[in-house]
Amino acid sequence: MTETAPNRRLLSLDILRGITVAGMIAVNNAGGRQSYDYLRHSAWNGLTPCDLVFPFFLFIMGVSTYIALNKFGFRPSAGVNRKIIRRTLLILIIGWLLHWFDHIIDGEFLVFGHLRLTGVLTRIAICYCIVSFMALHFSRRTLVKTTAILLAAYTALLCLSNGYAPDDTNFICKFDRAILGENHLYSKSPIDPEGLASTISAIAHTLIGFCFGHTVFSKRPIADKVIRIFAAGFILTAGGYLLTEWLPLNKRIWSPTFVLVTCGLASSLLATLIYVIDMSGYRRWCRFFEIFGVNPLFLYVLSEAVASVASTTGSKACIYEAIHSVIADPYLASAVYSAAFVMLMWMFGYMLYRKHIYIKI
């Protein structure tokens, strides 16, 4: 679906979304096996810059959900319900088609018995759907309480059910396999990083973004909003780090401390961007990220499809080896490949941007 002009947007939010999507594409497309730490996810406990991109996207999606539903006064109706369900199903189907496409280009067509049903887009769809319907039926105060309850319940599950074990004794692994079956989950580790059980915490994560959306688009003076958003972000980040002695940061299980810290960092960055872009008017540097920010999901999906083709056809290996022949350092060569891939996606985005085409998924 396209439209000739975007709805009235907050540029700083588009830029944060663009930074996040560019980061998602970069970390998913390192050139070689050797990559800088900031282009790799934490093996288990810990936090790298790479671990920030997906949680930042969920936070932004929460803010964007507030914007979308605010247009309808947060009043449920048949039309609004259809929009939410339609978008949820569309994102789910695109995510599953991407997984299927990976098999198709390998020559496997009938893979439904072991097609992965989880993943980044699956989690985005589930969080968007649940948070949207919650927002239509619950007050903001109830949403805040619900967020706290979800995080507390998930903390209890982690503590009482071997939730930090990196193997199949973890309740997250057991729950996901019981619901979907082992063949429909992430195959490279026992713990699916986008599994169903850890989506409990991801829903709370998106709700936090939604609550920040209320502050971002309130009628308060912009300086007051920047202070409130930054202060709340600092509290979340500090609180999350204080709790890491008992609940380590862990992206794979989407630990409650991971939620607090990453939401805090995302909101602090958003406050900074609002100050720099919307208050101070420094916008010239924004164009690169704005192009990613106005067509985020489309460019992400395109990048995944192109990456699959490049890997299967051997193009990725050839391009990387060509870069490596010029740049001896394998880490740097891998990073250059990643940057080149991001620029390729930017070029596609720029062509859409010039024609004022904004693809909504």
Q: Is the pTM of this model over 0.75?
A: yes
* Distance in angstroms (rounded) separating the CA atoms of residues 270 and 233: 9
Let me know if residue 152 belongs to a domain: yes
Structure tokens at 239: 């609180």
Q: Worst-scoring range by mean pLDDT, 64-73, 99-108, 158-167, 298-307?
A: 99-108
167-226 per-position pLDDT tens digit = 999 999 999 999 999 999 998 889 999 999 999 999 999 999 999 999 998 888 989 999
Three-state SS for the chain is: CCCCCCCCCCHHHHHHHHHHHHHHHHHCCCCCCCCCHHHCCCCCECCCHHHHHHHHHHHHHHHHHHHHHHCCCCCCCHHHHHHHHHHHHHHHHHHHHHHHHHHHCCCCCCCHHHCCCCCHHHHHHHHHHHHHHHHHHCCHHHHHHHHHHHHHHHHHHHHHCCCCCCCCCCHHHHHHHHHHCHHHCCCCCCCCCCCCCCHHHHHHHHHHHHHHHHHHCCCCCHHHHHHHHHHHHHHHHHHHHHHHHCCCCECCCCCHHHHHHHHHHHHHHHHHHHHHHHHCCCCHHHHHHHHHHHCHHHHHHHHHHHHHHHHHHCHHHHHHHHHHHHCCCHHHHHHHHHHHHHHHHHHHHHHHHHCCCCCCC
The answer to whether the beta carbons of residues 88 and 129 sit under 8 Å apart is yes
Q: Are residues 73 and 91 in the same domain?
A: yes
Let me know if residue 4 belongs to a domain: no
- Which pLDDT value is given to residue 108? 82
Q: Are residues 253 and 302 in the same domain?
A: no
CA 201 to chain centre: 14
Q: Are residues 122 and 271 in the same domain?
A: yes
- Which pLDDT value is given to residue 278? 87
The answer to whether the beta carbons of residues 292 and 346 sit under 8 Å apart is yes
Domain that holds residue 229: 44-282
Let me know if residue 13 belongs to a domain: no
Domain stops at, among 282, 312, 346? 282
**Confidence class of residue 343 from pLDDT cuts 50, 70 and 90?**
very high
Let me know if residue 165 belongs to a domain: yes
CA 21 to chain centre: 8
Let me know if residue 301 belongs to a domain: yes
Structure tokens at 279: 């208050």
Q: Are residues 143 and 239 in the same domain?
A: yes
Contacts of 224 (CB under 8 A, 6+ apart): none
Q: What is the crossing angle of helices 53-70 and 120-137, to 10°?
A: 30
Q: Are residues 136 and 236 in the same domain?
A: yes
Contacts of 183 (CB under 8 A, 6+ apart): 113, 114
* Distance in angstroms (rounded) separating the CA atoms of residues 54 and 333: 24
Structural domain total, the chain: 2
Domain stops at, among 282, 301, 327? 282
Q: Is the pLDDT of residue 232 over 80?
A: yes
**Confidence class of residue 361 from pLDDT cuts 50, 70 and 90?**
confident
Average pLDDT over the chain, rounded to whole?
Answer: 91
Contacts of 151 (CB under 8 A, 6+ apart): 201, 204, 256, 259
The answer to whether the beta carbons of residues 164 and 253 sit under 8 Å apart is yes
